[in-house]
Structure formats: structure tokens, C-alpha cells
Amino acid sequence: MIPLLPEVRPQVFMSVPSVWEKIAASALAEEDPEQRIERLEASTGGRLRFCLSGGAGLSREVKSLFHSAGLLLVEGYGLTECSPTLTLNCSDAFRFDSVGKPLPSVSLRLADDGEILARGPNVFAGYHRDAEATAAAFDDEGWFHTGDLGRFTEDGFLQIVGRKKEILVTSGGKNIAPVNIEQRFADDPWIQHVVVYGDGHKYLVAGVFVDPTSTPDPLCPSSLGSETRASSLRALVEPRIARVNAELAHHETIKRFFVSEEPLSVEGGLLTATLKVKRKAVYERYAERFEALYAEPRDQVAGPTAS
């Protein structure tokens, strides 16, 4: 699809984040800002007027790149049950750290636990021949419970925090949305995914999944022996974990992590078709590695260390 863009020269293009990231990759390889814009126009055909990314969160770096070329690459939020859009960033009102404001016909509010509730003519009436599931999806006032957690900025833009069902509860009783932590790594060009783990444990750990084709060769040469390369990768990841930890509350920080050069993929059953992490599948696949992080002596758990 991407190689055909210069030939088709679309004016409207909508796709998932991985496609936009691939389009942006060649332009970001250029150091000169003007050459970046020229490369971007050449790779897309130069006629784009409307760009939309959906299915998962898109990194701010990619959105900023398109914006520097005079193109607004917008994101929104919705569900199949809502036909599907609830919020959208627009040319006259957008924030790259949000999924936009509610559409005019949509009413949104947050439940006490932060769950996003929706009402409007676009919200479905119920699940086909499943009265039990329908009753569970709506409250007594007719609000549809999306299952997503969010927050509103002071100027009315919605930010997605995570999935309600994916909340981790530590042994100390702290409720933590792992997606809120994981999304802070979205702009990192060397980290493909971070998956936070720790339900029922005293502290959080994480699996850091890097794409071996994107790691900087001068820092992690492919010619290194396996143990030496693993140490280099840990040294590359550790300051990134520390930087994110500095932005978090103490109970949200990642205390330990492992690094894997096996990228998560749809083919491997660890990502959905829209490239969202299948958390349960990742937990099951890497259960031993996650749990092994808790086997370290307690006096060594002082900050992020790699395993």
C-alpha cells in the first residue's frame, strides 16, 4: 500500500499508526527540516489534505512531523457500539496529547472511577439477542459504559488513560492503569512496546520489547556476542525507564524490567489486528520472565534494573 501512495496521490488517507510510522520513518531519517518535508511529500504524493489515524495511539513525533509539513494528522476515539466516533481532533481545535473533543451530538461524562460514559443517537440500543450483556453495558440513566478510562483536560479535550478491565491492583491496594505508563514510551524510536506487569505484587515490573532493526548500531552492534549485546540493550533502555519513572507516582514506577528482541506481532498472536497489545497473551507467553523479576533479593530493588 505505502509504495503506491506516490502513484495514487491521495487527498484523504486514513490508516493505523504502524502505517503512519512507516511513512514518517524515511522523512525522519533526514536531518534537515526542509528535506524532511520534501521526503514526506514525495512519499505520500504531495496532495494530502486530510489525515486520520485510528485503532491505537500514534506517537506525538509522527503527528508533529506531519504538522511541520502543513498537514494535520488527527486522532479520535470511539467504539463499534458508538457507530463508532465519540471524539475527534479538528483543524480549529486539536491537542496532540488527546483524542479530541466530543462530537456535537455526543454527551460524555466520567464515572467516579474514571470510566468514560456516553449517550447520543449514535450509541447502539443493545447487543443482538443478548439481554444480559446489554443490561451490563448501560446504567439506569441510559449511559453506555465504554470500559475505557479517561480524563478531561482543562480546555475540554479527552485523554485516554487505559482500559478498566486492565487495571492492576498491587498487593498494597493501589489501582494502576498500565496503559497510562506504557504510552509514555510511545515516542521512543528504539522501543516498540513496554508491557507493565504487577497485579497482586508489591511493585511493578515490565517487559521492554525492542525491534532489533531499529536499535542504534553504534550502541548495540549486531556483531556483539549475545551476552555483550544484551548488556548494551539494557544500558540503552535503563535511562529511558528512569526518565519515565521520574514522571510517575512512586507506586506507579517500574522497579525492574527485562528486554526482549522478539517484537510483539499480530502473526505471533500478541497484537490485535489494530496493533493493540493483547495483554493476557503477553502475560502468558512471558510469565516466567515477568515472575523471575520478583526473585531478586529485596535489598536490590531500589530502582530500575534489567534482567
Distance of CA 51 to the CA centre of its chain: 19
Residue 221 is predicted with a pLDDT of 53
Beta strand 204-209 with 254-260: parallel, antiparallel or unpaired? parallel
Neighbours of 30 (CB within 10 A): 14
As given in the structure block, the three cell numbers for residue 152 are 478531561
| Of the candidates 147, 294, 263, 269, the residue with the CA atom closest to the CA atom of residue 195 | 263
Give the per-residue pLDDT at 127.
97
> For 13-17, 125-129, 209-213, which range has the lowest pLDDT when averaged over its residues?
209-213
| 82's grid cell | 458508538
Q: What is the mean pLDDT of the chain?
A: 89
Per-residue pLDDT averaged across 142-160, rounded? Answer: 96
Q: Per residue in 73-96, pLDDT tens? A: 999 999 999 999 999 999 999 999
104 confidence band (pLDDT: 50, 70, 90): very high
Domains of the chain and any CATH numbers: 2-71 (no CATH), 98-162 (2.30.38.10), 167-306 (3.30.300.30)
Burial of 39 (0-12, 13-18, 19+ CB in 10 A): buried
Quote the pLDDT of residue 223: 52
Per-residue pLDDT averaged across 30-36, rounded?
93
The whole-number average pLDDT for the span 224-237 is 78
> pLDDT by residue (tens digit) across 172-224?
888 899 998 998 998 888 899 999 999 999 999 999 998 777 655 544 555 55
Contacts 24+ apart (CB under 8 A), 147-152: 147/115, 148/77, 148/115, 148/116, 149/113, 149/114, 149/115, 149/116, 149/177, 150/110, 150/114, 150/115, 150/116, 151/110, 151/114, 152/110
Tens of pLDDT, residue by residue over 248-281, are 999 999 999 999 988 899 999 999 988 889 999 9
What is the CA angle 79-263-28, rounded to 5? Answer: 80
- The residue to which cell 472511577 is assigned: 113
Say if residue 298's pLDDT is above 60.
Answer: no
Give whole-number Cα distances, 76 to 48, 61, 89, 275, in Å: 19, 17, 6, 16
| φ, ψ (nearest 5 deg) of residue 253 | -70, 150
Task: Work out the burial of residue 26: count CB atoms within 10 Å of its CB; fewer than 13 is exposed, 13-18 middle, 19 or more buried.
Answer: middle
Short-list 211, 192, 303, 190, CA closest to 257: 303
Query: Quick one: pLDDT at residue 74?
Result: 95
